[in-house]
Amino acid sequence: MLDTTIDVETPEGVQLLIPVAGLAPRAMAWLIDGMIKFGMFIVALIVTQPLGLTGMALWSLFLFALFWLYNVLFEVLWQGATPGKRAMRLRVMNADGTPVGWTGAIVRNLIRPVDSLPGCYLLGCLSVLLSRNFQRLGDLAAGTIVAYKATDPERSRTHVNEPIPLAIPLSSDEQEALVSFSERRKQYSQARAEELAQILEPVLGEVDARRVRSYAAWLAGKGSPT
């Protein structure tokens, strides 16, 4: 399943399009966090080992905090992102688009051992693949999602597609579909954008997402679809 977007309507009636993350980027974020935790685990062991029984007690407390509080603290205090998620430009949020709070972060991470059953996060991976919004069991229990961070507006403005004239006439609905795709492109992952572009191939011939946006730029330059 490819990354996609979900529509969320705020209490004020504003429609939000949130790009949720699929299994692959979430797995990469988990791997990065795992390596960071392992490094901290080794450092703590080296530091506390010379302290004897006191060191073992301190090491045990640190180990508990590392594996049970690491994700919760980062997700609440660092805009929903652990270091691994931040590296992958991901963040945890509530399913209604609001920032995740203590309750949501605690619940989703308390369910993490269940997601890891029977090993290698099998249940969690299956839940992400089968759920509508790519949620593992902890997300379903907490009402949270993992989404991509918003694109930098400055970076978005610097990317302009050169208009390419259409060689075939299109209906009004088809022109509107092209323009709508172009306007929403930055809300899709690259894989999702290419998947949607392929849907237009019966009409446009062999195209990719960039070429579809170039056609849309030409249509926008002509004015509204007629």
Domain ranges, ordered by start, for the chain? 4-148, 155-220
Confidence of residue 154 (pLDDT cuts 50, 70, 90): very low
3-state secondary structure of 3: coil
Q: What tokens appear for 195 in the block?
A: 């998947």
CA atoms of 119 and 117, how far apart (whole Å): 5
| Long-range pairs for 157-162: beta carbons < 8 A, 24 or more residues apart | 160/217, 161/210, 161/213, 161/214, 161/216, 161/217, 162/214, 162/217
User: Which residues fall within 8 angstroms of residue 91, CB to CB, at 6 or more apart?
Assistant: 79, 80, 81, 85, 146, 147, 148, 149
For residues 93-98, give the mean pLDDT. 88
Residue pLDDT, tens place only, 21-59:
999 999 999 999 999 999 999 999 899 888 888 888 998
pLDDT of residue 150: 66
Task: Give the model's pLDDT for residue 51.
Answer: 87
pLDDT higher than 90, residue 156: no
Task: Give me the phi and psi of 210, to 5 degrees please.
Answer: -65, -40
Measured at the CA of 133, the angle between CA 176 and CA 78, to 5 degrees, comes to 105
Q: What would the two tokens of residue 141 be?
A: 């229990």
Q: Give percent above pLDDT 70 in the chain.
A: 85
Name the helix (H) or strand (E) containing 90.
strand 90-94
Q: Is the pLDDT of residue 151 over 50?
A: no
* Confidence band for 135, pLDDT divided at 50, 70 and 90: very high
The answer, yes or no, to whether residue 123 has pLDDT greater than 90, is yes
Portion of the chain with pLDDT greater than 90, in percent: 40
pLDDT value for 157: 40
Mean pLDDT across 82-93: 95
pLDDT at 163: 83
pLDDT given for residue 27 in this prediction: 93
Q: How confident is the model at residue 158 (pLDDT cuts 50, 70, 90)?
A: very low
Amino acid type, 131: S
Q: Rounded to whole angstroms, what are the CA distances from 122 to 68, 112, 147?
A: 20, 11, 21
Report the range of poorest mean pLDDT among 1-5, 192-196, 208-212: 1-5
Length of the chain: 226
